Amino acid sequence: MSVEKLVESDSSMSPLSGFRRMFSRGAGNGAKVGAGFLVGALLVGGGAFAANTISSSDSINACVNNTSRVITIAPTSGKCPAGTRALTWNIAGPQGPAGPAGPAGAAGTNGAPGSTGPAGAAGATGASGAQGLAGSAGSAGSAGNAGSAGSAGSSSNSNTSFSVTSIANALLPSVVSIAITTRTGSATGSGSIIKSSATSTFILTNNHVISGATKVTVELEDGTEIEGQIVGFDVAYDLAVVMVNQGNLPVASFGDSSKVVIGEPVVAIGSPLGLSGTVTSGIISSLDRPVTTGGTGSETYINALQTDAAVNPGNSGGPLVNAQSLIIGVNSAIASLGSSTSSTGSIGLGFAIPINQAKRISNEIIATAKIVGAKVTLAGVSTRPLLGVSFDTSYAGSGAKIYALTAGGGAELAGIPANSVIKAIDGKSTKDNIEAIVRIRSYDPGASIKVTVDLPNSGGSRTFTVTLGSAPSNSA
């Protein structure tokens, strides 16, 4: 406040006595006050202090006598008489020393909970991720952090990234149409390129596609037609290999038919009714389906993969492909409602030879064939496994009844007696002799299998370990 207002606030005293009372009150005597001014010390309240000179900008209040210590109002000239010192009054004097630290402030209140995190991004084919959790409470006085985002949803099935378009694009270049001429007419089928060198290419197909051919023509995806040669065939498995003298063609890749499961999506590719490059899709409907084709003396026994993908005449020899664009079977047969040509067509019951069997057979045919230059001079051969028994075809009961044993065959060496009835092979039920043959031919020659039989003369059930023998597939 100003000096004028300070004096006027105490109307019971003169301006001079008022200043005296204010600055000496409680001091005890004037000497103490004077000593404080002589050394320039702060007197009270931070408002009064001693100064040797007075600036024109200061508020001049009074002069103090150096001897008597009497305070008088300063002259208007702004200079105190000789023997006196100026007394000034300011709202704020020189800054005093820092006071002691104040007590610590109270802790801040907890921050508000963080906001909910955003929903997680959608997985490759799965559902969207769950919403993120709310953020934890913030530290004292600050808001909580936002919740983290939800994790991405997992894909619905690691093995179901299934695109017919991508499979078709991958496989069509390695699928061919096969046309044959026979002495009595012509026929068409399909095939897959399984091996290609700089000068020649090998194609896997069915035996019944090329059977009786006097001329074989292979049509590539781009429409190029090339004469083909039969490298070899296997009647027992209904498989064959054709060669063309053109190299560096795209080759299909094999899958593993032992890992196929029911319900797995598949694609069938081929030339039904001569319509090359036809693609259909479906699923694996069943496994280990016993299928027989061919006439007497040339029967084929297939431990087939069953599919509902549309397979029609002309698809024979073409590939059955899984979601990874790998061949898992060779389309070979269909079931039909009638025997006439007009009623033959897909009813959702197609059958394919498992590729593990087809791979072994085709490798053996190629390896044993003799090829001189660009010409096949000796057909390749393949093998089939033998249990070493003959079955009683008149037996009407459940199972496959052994009529006779082959001397030195696997069954005889294992100790299985004649007239035993095979009930299971490697734990899979065997209902008749057809199923027994199909099961046995699903193995490689030399494989070790478990054969469970009912012994003759009510001798009970027993399981034998049998090592399968080997024989040329096209022999009787």
Residues with Cβ within 8 Å of residue 220, at least 6 apart in sequence: 176, 226, 249
In terms of Cα–Cα distance, which of 191, 274, 273 is closest to 240?
191
Residues with Cβ within 8 Å of residue 319, at least 6 apart in sequence: 171, 175, 192, 252, 268, 269, 270, 327, 329, 330, 331
Contact 418, 402 (CB under 8 A): yes
One DSSP character per residue, 42-86 reads --STTTEEEESS--TTS-EEEEEETTT--EEEPPTTS-PPTTEEE
Other CB atoms within 10 Å distance of the CB of residue 15: 17
Q: Which of 257, 271, 285, 316 is catalytic?
A: 316
| Measured distance CA(228)–CA(218) in Å, rounded | 6
One DSSP character per residue, 239-304 reads EEEEEES--S-----B--GGG--TT-EEEEEE-GGG-TTEEEEEEEEEEEEEEEES-TTS-EEEEE
Look up 308 and say whether it is catalytic. Answer: no
| Measured distance CA(344)–CA(280) in Å, rounded | 17
Contact 282, 240 (CB under 8 A): no
| Measured distance CA(436)–CA(438) in Å, rounded | 6
Look up 208 and say whether it is catalytic. Answer: yes
User: In Å, how far are 125, 184, 270, 299, 466 from 400, measured between CA atoms?
Assistant: 48, 39, 37, 18, 16
The kind and range of the H/E element at 464 are: strand 461-467
Query: Which three-class secondary structure state does DSSP give residue 171?
Result: helix
Contact 61, 80 (CB under 8 A): no
Q: Which of 192, 208, 285, 454 is catalytic?
A: 208
Q: Which of 234, 238, 308, 432 is catalytic?
A: 238
Other CB atoms within 10 Å distance of the CB of residue 138: 17
Tokens 């702004």, residue?
78
Contact 176, 201 (CB under 8 A): no
Residues with Cβ within 8 Å of residue 398, at least 6 apart in sequence: 421, 423, 431, 432
User: Looking at the annotation, which residues are catalytic?
Assistant: 208, 238, 316
